[in-house]
Amino acid sequence: MRNLLKNYGFIICMLVGIIAGCITGAVWPGATVLEPLGTVFINLMFCIVVPMVFCSISSAIANMQSAKRAGKIMGVTVLTFCVTAGIAALIMYVIVCTIPIVGGAYEIVEGEIGETLGVADMVINFFTKPDFMELWSRKAILPLIVFAVLFGFGVQLSGGPETKTAQILEDVTKCIMNTVKIITYYAPIGFFGFFATLVANYGPELIGDYSRTLIIYYVVCFVYMFAFFPIYAKFGGGRGAVKVMFKNLFKPAAVSFGTCSSVATIPTNMQAAEDTGISKEVSDIVLPLGATMHMDGSAMSAIVKVAFLFGIFGQDFTTGRAVLAIVIAIFSSVAMSGIPGGGGTGELVLCTIFFPEQLAVAYPFALALGNLVDPPATMVNAAGDYVVSFIVERFVNGKDWLQKKLK
């Protein structure tokens, strides 16, 4: 029971806050007076996210001990991460286009919507801002990330971890993340006020759309694991690989679902890899790296969030937007997942790119979805690390590596 509360306590509290808010908004039309409760939380998150993004990214790069990695293994691993994340995002896009997750647009919200940016403008805003001061805004998260990466490499070239700048960035990052922890204690109250106001304004239909979205996501995660993991294992290990994979898959899947942590699943994944016969040189790189960079479940959730927001705002999820969303989903799952608080940052990136004028509405929706889908997303992420090791092993030690182990 103690472990249950430790692993799921925050999610349970947040879910209670959301449900209580939905009920309050449904039975009390005057629940809009609770809006300040939600606004306070969102404003606190907006205030902390800009320094968090800059310091965490630049610190992570500046404090790298070495720019060199185990060449071939590292390259194959990262490429595989990107490919599987892209496949996962594409699958989810097809699902949300086939099965609408939102029943219809909300007129009150639609009246508040400005025009979304065209694809060309989105690409420009993806990388740059015309003025340095414009970087320090919640509406410029992606350009800020690009600048933080460049600054981190600048510190790395100036001496890396030995420089005072790198040490300061690391210390500031720790302070910011502790501040984020303090703010998140208020999250259940904030979501209570936010959802009470939304349901009071837009009606109980919003609850149904939210529930439908969560059900679709949970089902797709399990289908993806049972349908596509065997394909990856077969490709990586050849004959007999699927049977071996399923024999060792369920323990890391259960641990990751129960702990909601890819990092906490590393020891279990290591044991599964050893029992499978995956070489230590591969597992020692793929599994720790995968815990921070391989996020198929997160890529799928990014598409769900964008589709949900387009639905409630009454806008079409066009092909051009879909391509950009998939690219961002891969980027946020592979490049940003290792950042402390990267999940919340990923949601803000999605909202700033597609809904720059509606952050106050779009971001809480995306953030709540992100937290509620965390268990199955982590399961797909962490269990997928073990499966990816099959593919990397093939390219490093030959396609018949498993058959040699089984003899």
Query: Is 5 within the bounds of a domain?
Result: no
Query: Is 1 within the bounds of a domain?
Result: no
Distances (CA, A) of 1 to 200, 261, 381, 401: 35, 18, 25, 42
Mean pLDDT of 308-329: 80
Is the CA virtual torsion 264, 268, 269, 274 positive or negative? positive
Q: Which of 148, 124, 102 is nearest to 345 (CA)?
A: 148
Nearest-angstrom CA–CA distance, 379 and 328 = 21
Q: Which residue has the higher pLDDT, 368 or 121?
A: 368
Within 10 A of 83 (CB to CB), how many other CB atoms are there? Answer: 14
pLDDT at residue 159 above 90?
no
Within 10 A of 120 (CB to CB), how many other CB atoms are there? Answer: 9
Place of tokens 């020891």: 267
Q: Which residue has the higher pLDDT, 114 or 44?
A: 44
Mean pLDDT of 20-25: 89
pLDDT digits (tens, 9 = 90+) for 212-235: 888 899 999 999 999 999 999 999
Pair of tokens at residue 84: 């599987």
H runs (alpha helix) in 278-341: 280-293, 296-312, 319-334
Query: Is 194 within the bounds of a domain?
Result: yes
Query: Is 144 within the bounds of a domain?
Result: yes
DSSP secondary structure string, 350-383?
HHHHH-TT-HHHHHHHHHHHHHHTHHHHHHHHHH
pLDDT at 109: 45
Do residues 249 and 386 lie in contact, with contact meaning Cβ atoms separated by under 8 Å? yes
Query: Is 4 within the bounds of a domain?
Result: no
Nearest-angstrom CA–CA distance, 155 and 314 = 45
pLDDT at residue 316 above 50?
yes
Query: Is 337 within the bounds of a domain?
Result: yes
Place of tokens 């809480």: 364
Q: Measured in Å, how far apart are the chain's first and last C-alpha atoms?
A: 44
Query: Is 95 within the bounds of a domain?
Result: yes
Average pLDDT, the chain: 79
Q: Of all residues in the chain, what percent carry a pLDDT higher than 70?
A: 82
Place of tokens 């927001």: 309
* Total-model pTM: 0.71
Range of the domain at 18: 10-406
pLDDT at 390: 92
pLDDT at residue 342 above 60?
no
pLDDT digits (tens, 9 = 90+) for 181-221: 788 788 889 889 888 887 887 667 667 777 888 889 999 99
Q: Specify the CATH number for the domain of residue 244.
A: 1.10.3860
Pair of tokens at residue 346: 């990923």
Q: For the chain, how many structural domains are there in total?
A: 1
Coil, strand or helix at 66: coil
Q: Which of 8, 366, 363 is nearest to 210 (CA)?
A: 366
Query: Is 2 within the bounds of a domain?
Result: no
User: For the ranges 5-19, 172-186, 304-318, which has the lowest average pLDDT?
Assistant: 5-19
Nearest-angstrom CA–CA distance, 87 and 294 = 13
